[in-house]
């Protein structure tokens, strides 16, 4: 299991991660934009939004990965989670494909009396993924890779 920090931005993720990459001398190991999303009913992205970061990972060491995305109102509005500087941070738990039962267990235990943002379920990127705010106001993401990335 790996615990990572996950940051949300309002259109500055790419600029911030260029800065962080320079500061940490790290390597961007993954980058996807909202324009890479498969088509979804009711979701229309502007050309500007298509260029924003849906997910970026910066490997700082073998064990430390800083991750982020640009918040997109079409996705966040449905969860009533507006972007607020100071609460734009998640703790991300990343598990290997053989740890699926651990992903379900942690999601169930940590989300007790919390607010589920996205139920733990299979995703288009080949993982089990879910997000929630726990009963103490801490935001969590659980990601269990099911397929080789």
Phi, psi dihedral angles at 115 (to 5 degrees)? -120, 120
Q: What is the rounded CA–CA span in Å between residue 89 and residue 49?
A: 21
Domain 1-87 has CATH 3.30.720.100: yes
The fold of the 89-149 domain, in CATH, is 2,3-Dihydroxybiphenyl 1,2-Dioxygenase; domain 1 (3.10.180)
Beta-carbon contacts of 71 under 8 Å, excluding residues fewer than 6 positions away, are 8, 9, 10, 83, 88
CB 76, CB 64: distance < 8 Å:
no
Interval 83-116: pLDDT, tens: 676 667 888 898 999 999 999 999 999 999 999 9
Taking the model in full, what pTM does it have? Answer: 0.73
Same fold, 1-87 and 89-149: no
pLDDT digits (tens, 9 = 90+) for 10-38: 899 999 999 899 988 999 999 999 999 88
> What pLDDT is attached to residue 77?
46
Where are the domains positioned within the chain? 1-87, 89-149
């Amino acid at each position: 299991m790996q615990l990572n920090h996950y940051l949300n931005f309002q259109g500055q993720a790419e600029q911030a991660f260029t800065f962080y990459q320079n500061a940490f001398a790290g390597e961007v190991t993954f980058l996807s934009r909202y324009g890479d999303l498969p088509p979804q009913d009711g979701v229309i992205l502007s050309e500007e939004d298509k260029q924003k970061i849906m997910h970026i990972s910066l490997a700082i060491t073998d064990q430390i990965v800083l991750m982020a995305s640009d918040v997109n109102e079409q996705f966040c509005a449905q969860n009533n989670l507006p972007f607020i500087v100071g609460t734009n941070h998640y703790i991300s738990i990343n598990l290997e494909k053989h740890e699926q039962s651990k992903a379900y267990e942690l999601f169930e235990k940590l989300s007790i009396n919390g607010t589920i943002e996205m139920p733990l379920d299979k995703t288009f990127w080949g993982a089990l993924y879910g997000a929630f705010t726990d009963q103490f106001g801490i935001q969590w993401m659980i990601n269990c890779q099911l397929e080789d990335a």
